[in-house]
Amino acid sequence: MIYPKIDPRVFVKNRQRFSKQLKPNSIAIFNSNDVMPTSADGTHPFIQQTDIFYLSGIDQEETVLVICPNTPDKKQKEILFIKETNEQIATWEGQKHTQAEARDISGIQKVHWIAELNAILRPLIIESENIYLNTNEHLRAPDIVETRDMRFLKWCRQTFPLHHYERVAPIMNNLRAVKSPAEIELIKTACGITEKAFRRLLGFMRPGVWEYEVEAEIVHEFMRNRSRGAAYETIVASGIDACTLHYVKNDKQCRKGDLVLIDFGAEFANYAADVTRTVPVNGKFSKRQKDVYNAVLKIQKAAIQMLKPGNTLEKYQNAVAKLMQAELIRLGVLKKADVKKQPKDAPLYKKFFPHGTSHHLGLDVHDYGDRYRKFEPGMVFTCEPGIYIRDEAIGVRIENDILISPRGPVDLTKTIPREAEEIEELMNK
């Protein structure tokens, strides 16, 4: 791992909080992600399953975490199983964690090789009444590839059919929604790296550059600052493509007079930043572009102030929708008479602002969190209103990362330039 070592007390505390949520006489089992194949003998870079990282800090494939709080054997309350290295693996892939290193990273004292899993796990399961297993229950998760967790679930149900099975996901959704101070610092670091990349871009952007060149500048700055790279697929969308929400081709040339929407964020120690900025390719907004840009900025500034304890996503989104509707009327995109006649379940503003304003941010870009839960201190949300006018080839989104605190919203990305005049000034230095 290229990021500095995280204090193992972070993971110890996470496990303590998790264990308190289990029913008596329970065992919980977490699996790492698979190394995903490409074709022939190729593989994608390994990305750890975020729940097992949250609870152990182990960033390595073929890892299993077992938590069994009520076992009479105190040494077996937390057990970590890791991949045993050998000379061949070390030659081809590099050294894997030793047991001592795994103990140091995780704070778990009982560490075994993965080959010992079945022999140790079986008696622990037999002594338990409830088995907590993990599945990906994110509302937008693509259910295409069978995960190690799902394969393990099938094996477990076949081998131990009479146990009571429980879901880990609701517990993790509850715990991970509120970030610890250590987690917030890691997100702030990711945001700081993202700022460096954006400031680099302001000096690089000019008519004639290609979107993929812009992405290359971003990746360069991320990786030279101890990031693995982008926390998600980078969007560099110029001209009319800025109106495509998940445009990732990044294969067009940036032309004079166009806007370019850049949605990007660094990963740091598996934590994500998520930032969007929209800039004029030639360093100067047209009057119309600036009017649309400032409308989005006005909405964002007001929306950020609503990210405070006690609010909910539904109330928040409804309030932002009213602001958006008013700005679209002011810009002449919507007509007041048409808005008065619009169906309640199909508001006209959605043609020009079809996505939500905020989502949880953390170990995952679209991080865990109950959409009906009231906002609490320690939650981190994006704030990303946008206006997309396809007929004018204008797409503007501005996105910051906001920590909810008892004293009001804290913008973790406040130093990343977003005022139109500041962007123009920095681009024309």
Residues annotated as catalytic are: 41, 246, 263, 274, 355, 359, 366, 384, 388, 397, 399
User: Contact 33/59 with Cβ under 8 angstroms?
Assistant: no
Report the DSSP pairing between strands 259-264 and 275-280: antiparallel
The CA-CA-CA angle for residues 67, 72, 74, to 5°, reads 60
Q: Give DSSP secondary structure letters for 86-130.
A: -HHHHHHH-PPPPHHHHHHHH--SEEEEGGGHHHHHHHHHHH-SE
User: Contact 309/377 with Cβ under 8 angstroms?
Assistant: yes
Burial 38-54 (b: 16+ CB within 10 A, else e): eeeeeeeeebbbbbbbb
Evaluated on CA atoms 37, 38, 39, 42, the torsion sign reads negative
User: Contact 396/296 with Cβ under 8 angstroms?
Assistant: yes
User: Contact 235/218 with Cβ under 8 angstroms?
Assistant: no
Contacts of 293 (CB under 8 A, 6+ apart): 278, 285, 396, 398, 420
User: Contact 254/242 with Cβ under 8 angstroms?
Assistant: no
User: Contact 354/245 with Cβ under 8 angstroms?
Assistant: yes
Output the six-digit token pair for 170: 């609701």
Give the DSSP letter of residue 74.
G
- Distance of alpha carbon 92 from alpha carbon 12, whole angstroms: 33
